[in-house]
Amino acid sequence: MNNANEQLRPESLLTLLRHQRTLHRQLRILSERQRSLVSQDDTETLLKMLAERQRLVDGLVELNARLAPYRSCWTTFYAGLDETCRKEVSELLEEVNGSLAAILQSDRKDTATLTARRQSMAGRVAAFDAGSRAITAYGNSNTAKQSIVTDASA
């Protein structure tokens, strides 16, 4: 191993992966809360919760950078771990991947719900706009008739 890889220690990897698991667990909890807020149409609370999710995602980005040296020599490093450590690493990675899959699926559902709601609202706004234009046109038409009648009777 070269000098950079000499600093890669199983204990450090486990610490990073445990932290990653914790962040994913927190994201999953927020994802479930997000679903509730979307269905309740609680926009203000949803925006606050999304800010918290962003903070966790930022933490994962930072953590991902710290895991990069391990990924760069993953096969060799993983093969050098003792059986107990390999088992824990595998379990942590499986849990994180499961959480990520659940979060992504939940986010897709929430996106579909919000998209449908936005399209419904856009349809209602368009119908309202068309109704307003019709009323305005009718009002202008009625005014024009009154004007003609007034001019004709003069």
Terminal-to-terminal C-alpha distance of the chain: 105
pLDDT computed for residue 111 by the predictor: 85
Q: Tell me the domain boundaries of the chain.
A: 3-110
Whole-model pTM: value is 0.70
Per the CB < 8 A criterion, the answer to whether 30 and 107 are in contact is no
Q: 132: which DSSP letter?
A: H
pLDDT computed for residue 77 by the predictor: 96
Provide the b/e sequence for 34-68 (b: ≥16 CB within 10 Å).
beebbeeeeeeebeebeeebeebeebbeeeeeebe
pLDDT computed for residue 41 by the predictor: 83
pLDDT computed for residue 3 by the predictor: 43
Give the residue ranges of the chain where pLDDT is below 50.
1-6
